[in-house]
């Protein structure tokens, strides 16, 4: 049990034990107010964007570096997209790729996002042209992928280079 839950139940127990009707009414009002604050706080915490900031080119390049990749900033392109309200089989498969990398596009259905594309200049021993895509919504990274430009090439989520070995 979390510390906040333990405190809540301890306070609840102390407030409910003993007293007359008026005291009970005051206690219940206090309990209701406390519960409201607790629920509001949990909701606020849950809705906070815990994502990675990707609103600037520096933040996106920094994230690429954190994964072990170097990108050519002069290759940047941006495309505005609408994430479909209903996922077809292609988007369902793509979202599975996102889930493996710690992202999930489900909550962004119907939203307009920007896909930033960069060429990776240090992708292992590959002689292929390799791209990194960042899907950004409201300045936060919500997904992306790394793929080769070759027909029937590869694609994987935004993972560290060490995870590919």
With b for 16 or more beta-carbon neighbours within 10 A and e for fewer, the 23-53 pattern comes to eeeebeeeeeeeeeeeeeeeeeeeeeeeebe
- Looking at the fold, whether 146 and 77 belong to one and the same domain comes out as yes
Phi, psi (rounded to 5 degrees) for 6? -65, -45
Q: How many domains does the chain have?
A: 2
Q: Which residue range forms the structural domain that includes residue 109?
A: 52-164
Q: Tens of pLDDT along 122-134?
A: 998 778 899 999 9
- Looking at the fold, whether 87 and 117 belong to one and the same domain comes out as yes
- Looking at the fold, whether 77 and 155 belong to one and the same domain comes out as yes
- Looking at the fold, whether 142 and 80 belong to one and the same domain comes out as yes
- Average pLDDT on 7-11 reads 56
- Looking at the fold, whether 111 and 37 belong to one and the same domain comes out as no
- Looking at the fold, whether 20 and 63 belong to one and the same domain comes out as no
Q: Tens of pLDDT along 32-80?
A: 445 444 444 443 333 334 579 999 999 999 999 999 999 999 999 999 9
């Amino acid at each position: 049990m979390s510390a906040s839950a333990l405190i809540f139940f301890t306070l609840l127990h102390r407030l409910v034990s003993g007293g007359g009707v008026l005291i009970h009414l005051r206690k219940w009002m206090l309990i209701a107010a406390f519960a409201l604050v607790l629920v509001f706080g949990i909701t606020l915490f849950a809705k906070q964007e815990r994502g990675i900031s990707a609103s600037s080119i520096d933040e996106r390049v920094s994230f690429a570096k954190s994964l072990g990749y170097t990108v050519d900033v002069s290759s940047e392109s941006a495309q505005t997209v609408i994430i479909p309200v209903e996922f077809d089989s292609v988007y369902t498969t793509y979202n599975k790729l996102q889930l493996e990398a710690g992202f999930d596009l489900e909550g962004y259905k119907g939203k307009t996002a920007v896909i930033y594309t960069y060429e990776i200049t240090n992708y292992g021993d590959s002689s292929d042209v390799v791209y990194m895509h960042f899907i950004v919504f409201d300045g936060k990274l919500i997904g992306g992928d790394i793929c080769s430009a070759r027909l029937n090439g590869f694609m994987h989520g935004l993972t560290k280079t060490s995870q590919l070995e």
